[in-house]
Amino acid sequence: MLTFHNVCLAPSSFQLTGIPGLESLHIWLSIPFSSMYLVAVVGNATILAVVRVEHSLHQPMYFFLCMLAIIDLVLSTSTMPKLLGIFWFGAGDIGLDACLAQMFLIHCFATVESGIFLAMAFDRYVAICNPLHHTTVLTHTMVGRLGMAALCRGVLYIGPLPLMIRLRLPLYKTRVISHSYCEHMAVVTLTCGDSRINNIYGLSIGFLVLILDSMAITASYVMIFRTVIGLSTPEARLKTLGTCGSHICAILIFYVPIAVSSLIHRFGHQVPPPIHTLLANFYLLIPPILNPIVYAVRTKQIRERLLQILKTETKIK
């Protein structure tokens, strides 16, 4: 590690602090965090396994659900093992390149997840507003293309973030990151150089992804609700809206924690640092935990298949 002017450093690694201000409670915090991570991994792996073996679930909505499960596994696994290492062993050291790679994975796949929710909204729009064309529009090939488009958009949007830090901002005031993972703003605030371009780009990407995606999803559901209102009977309306219930719940589970965390980060200057960090971890953990539960509870085919598996295991025992 090189030092310049006795002020700025060119570190080869950083030190993550875990939950700043709660270091004495790290071993106790590891219990709920490790439990939540285990639930997230088991839940999403179960969704992938059930959709794979159940041929009746080989439909666009469930293919998108599998994409969400993979994304959630990447998001939780990119942060939780390192956080648990900090809690259990004090292993907060992380290489510069590893830090930037973690930053890319977190922000890229959060962007991809937003794109998948947008694709799912399009699927629901076609299924309800143009049901006769659903099977011809949302083919397996089209689903794959939408998923690939969401992935490419995430890589294209987020790829420049770690590159700009690596190439433009080599010097840092300290190597200690007061966070549990390499979040973009947590790293940029430590730099000695002019970080305005990084800040502007990060805010622009946040606007493009969260604001525009949420506006497009809202517009699709406005059109869906207009179609549902035009249905002849209340039973038909409830049945049609029921097909959207899981998707709406998943959207709220994803966007609300991000919005709350972002607002507190930008404007909640009086909020204690541990709350900032805990919220930042929760918005990466809550969707991976709740998405499988929501779809397992609200989707008849998944629920029945899970019950069938449980009954089979019980008989074997």
pLDDT band at 272 (very low <50, low <70, confident <90, very high): confident
Q: How far apart are CA 288 and CA 41, in angstroms?
A: 8
pLDDT tens string 47-61: 999 999 888 889 999
CATH of domain 13-315: 1.20.1070.10
* Span 231-257, average pLDDT: 84
Report the C-alpha gap between 88 and 31 in whole angstroms. Answer: 10
Question: Torsion angle of alpha carbons 293, 26, 277, 13, nearest 10°?
Answer: -110
One-letter amino acid for residue 178 of the chain: S
Rounded CA-CA distance 17/56 in Å is 47
Higher pLDDT, 5 or 88: 88
How many other C-beta atoms lie within 10 A of the C-beta of residue 248?
15
Q: How confident is the model at residue 316 (pLDDT cuts 50, 70, 90)?
A: low
Q: Which residues pair with 172 in a beta bridge?
A: 9, 191
What's the pLDDT band for 2 if we cut at 50, 70, 90? low
CA dist., res. 128 & res. 244, Å (int): 10
CA angle 142, 146, 151 (to 5 degrees): 145
Percent of the chain surpassing pLDDT 90: 61
Identify the pLDDT of residue 110.
Answer: 95
Cβ–Cβ under 8 Å, residues 286 and 253: yes
* Residue 309 or 26, more confident: 26
Is residue 275 within 8 A of residue 264, CB to CB? The reply is: yes
pTM above threshold 0.95 = no
Specify whether the CB–CB gap between 103 and 161 falls below 8 A.
yes
Q: For residue 205, what pLDDT is reported?
A: 92
Can you say whether the dihedral through the CA atoms of 99, 213, 196, 283 is positive or negative?
A: negative
Judging by DSSP bridges, how do beta strands 2-4 and 8-10 pair with one another?
Answer: antiparallel
User: With 60 as the cut, is the pLDDT of residue 6 above it?
Assistant: no
Residue 315 — pLDDT band, cuts 50, 70, 90? low
Assess whether pLDDT exceeds 80 at residue 182. yes
